Amino acid sequence: MKHDIHIIGGGLAGSEAAWQLAQRGFKVRLSEMRGGGGTTPAHNTDALAEMVCSNSFRSDDDEKNAVGLLHHEMRRLDSLVMRAAETARVPAGTALAVDRDIFSAAVQRALDEHPNVTVIRERIDALPESGLTIVATGPLTAASLAQSIGAATGQDALAFFDAIAPIVHRDSIDMDICWFQSRWDKPSAGGDADSEGKDYINCAMNREEYLAFHQGLIDGEKTTFKEWEENTPYFEGCMPIEVMAARGVDTLRYGPMKPVGLDDPRTACEEFPQGRWPYAVVQLRQDNKLGTLWNMVGFQTKLKHAAQVELFRTIPGLQNAEFARLGGLHRNTFLNAPMVLDRELRLKEAPHIRFAGQITGCEGYVESAAVGLMTGLMTAAEITGQPWQAPPRTAAMGALLAHITGDAEAETYQPMNINFGLFPPLHDVNKKSRKEAYTSRGKADFGEWMMASELVTA
């Protein structure tokens, strides 16, 4: 079948993109390497949209939860992934969990039976030189194609090892304990001239607090590498904080927790009017342009999530911390999207190619599928010559797209789940009502966007 668009990768993002385009009358060639001369160690079957980790799409609550709002928006756009999830749904309280086999079979059947989709079992080893293409090959992109992507983007824009530091919601940090200051009061190079050397939030520790924290890192329960990750070496710049802690009790105080050049205002006195240097410091750096998310500098970790929450809330000023993302360290392939992709997810150096799913730096099944959905809509608009209007940033899809394509800082870009920290803030709303306010605003603005874009509601 002659095709209008070539999609490489039959995971959740590629399958969703294929569905959106096919439903709009475009001919799609969907290439999936499993069953066609290639596979990844994470997959167990050749089925499209196989879920390789959890069987959960997380919360389905669209009144108080960002991912639930994303579910709502995808359903309104007739998402294949959401259709299949309803078919395969299993009891999970307010979460949307599925029978993996039934889910995958439902996606496979819908695409196999669609007259506008041809599924080809083949491995693609290089980016096509021409023709509209969506690359949705996921976090374990085959080496040959990854090399081709690296050549097109620059190797420094493609990560093969994902060192993730925790990210904290700004409004959960206790600023009566913490303070703003850059080391030696130096403003960030090339940064905001008005920052006045106050680019970091600092959490000071005394000796007793530090020693207890250090021991917690040593004793905390750790995750282990997957089998296919075991030969992936640590990079010194990505060293897990607990590995550094194991090298010696003072290693962190000479590394990411060094206190030099930082004056704790709580210790101000006549001799030290600016305050004294603390014993150790945890620094947080702004992670998005909205200033709602702050990452813990140098805190990539293999601690299990529950252990992270328990230990990191012992840090002075973070006792009530709410985490937009917890730390991790694992093999991954993702683009530095803010650097190499435009606002329509096209490769700046080769705009006939779009990227979708986890390779763009989103995290999670639903987010991956949502980005696939948006690439389908973008490509349909491009083929028909219609201008593409992005979803509003107050909606989950718009917030996710904005993070991937420009709101995040390229220098610190890391995979991210959808969360309210990506949305334009609502400072004038009571904190207890803020989640409902985010979802109400998002639903209203998303509905208006659909009407303006002449998209049929589900």
Q: What is the arithmetic mean of pLDDT over 367-373?
A: 97
Annotated binding-site members: 9-14
How much is the pLDDT for 189?
A: 44
CATH 2.40.30.260 maps onto the chain at 167-326
Band the pLDDT of 323: cuts 50, 70, 90.
Answer: very high
pLDDT surpassing 80 at residue 296: yes
Write phi, then psi, for 354 (nearest 5 degrees): -110, 155
What does the alpha-carbon distance between residue 19 and residue 110 come to, in Å, rounded to a whole number?
A: 8
Mean per-residue pLDDT, 418-442: 94
Of residues 92 and 301, which shows the higher confidence score?
301
* Mean pLDDT score across all residues of the chain: 88
pLDDT over 90 (residue 456): no
**What DSSP letter does each residue of 388-421 carry, written as one string?**
P-PPPTTSHHHHHHHIIIIIB-GGG---B---GG
Q: If pLDDT is split at 50, 70 and 90, which confidence band does 192 have?
A: very low
pLDDT of 235 over the 50 cut: no
Ramachandran category for residue 42: left, alpha or beta (phi over 0 → left; psi -120 to 50 → alpha): alpha
Helix (H, G, I), strand (E, B) or coil at 131: coil
Render the burial of 114-125: b for 16+ CB within 10 Å, e for the rest: bebbbbbeebbe
Using alpha carbons, select from 56, 55, 47 the residue that is nearest to residue 10. Answer: 47
Decide which of 208 and 289 is more confident: 208
- Quick one: tokens of 122? 């083949």
Identify the pLDDT of residue 458: 39
Instruction: Report d(CA 16, CA 157) in Å as an integer.
Output: 26
Are β-strands 328-335 and 167-169 bridged in parallel, bridged antiparallel, or unpaired?
Answer: unpaired
Cα Rg of the chain (Å, integer): 23
Judged by average pLDDT, the poorest of 207-216, 374-383, 448-457 is 448-457
* Of 188 and 116, more confident: 116
**408: Cα separation from own chain's centroid:** 10
- Dump pLDDT digits (tens) for 5-16: 999 999 999 999
Q: What is the edge-to-edge ordering of all strands in the sheet holding 5-8?
A: 117-121, 28-32, 5-8, 133-135, 350-355, 346-347
Reply yes or no on whether the pLDDT at 228 is more than 50. no
Question: Which residue ranges are tagged as binding site for FAD?
Answer: 9-14
Domain with CATH 3.50.50.60 in the chain: 5-162+331-452
Q: How far is C-alpha 55 from the chain's CA centre?
A: 18
Provide mean pLDDT across the span 166-174.
Answer: 95
- Residue whose token pair is 């209008």: 4
Q: What is the topology classification, in CATH, of domain 167-326?
A: Elongation Factor Tu (Ef-tu); domain 3 (2.40.30)
Which of 84 and 224 is assigned the larger pLDDT? Answer: 84
pLDDT band at 190 (very low <50, low <70, confident <90, very high): very low
Round to whole Å and give the CA distance between 294 and 6.
38
Give the per-residue pLDDT at 227: 54
284 pLDDT above the threshold of 70: yes
pLDDT for position 83? 97
- Range with the lowest mean pLDDT among 2-11, 251-260, 288-297, 386-395? 288-297
Pick from 101, 27, 15: nearest CA to 370: 15
Residue with tokens 């799609």: 28
The more confidently predicted of residues 108 and 415 is 108
Task: Indicate whether 50 pLDDT > 70.
Answer: yes
Instruction: Give the least confident one: 53-67, 137-151, 236-250.
Output: 236-250
- pLDDT, residue 286, reads 86
The secondary structure of 195-224 as a DSSP string is STT--EEEEEE-HHHHHHHHHHHHHS-B--
> CATH assignment of 5-162+331-452?
3.50.50.60
Q: Which residues does residue 331 pair with via DSSP β-bridges, in sequence order?
A: 161
Distance, CA of 242 to CA of 247 (rounded, Å): 9
* pLDDT class of 196 with cuts at 50, 70, 90: low
Taking a C-beta distance cutoff of 8 angstroms, is the pair 418, 393 a contact? no
More confident site: 86 or 41: 86
Mean per-residue pLDDT, 316-327: 94
- Mean pLDDT confidence for 247-251: 95
**CB 117, CB 30: distance < 8 Å:** yes
Beta bridge pairs of residue 200: 285
Higher pLDDT, 331 or 374: 374
Strand partners, 8: 31, 135
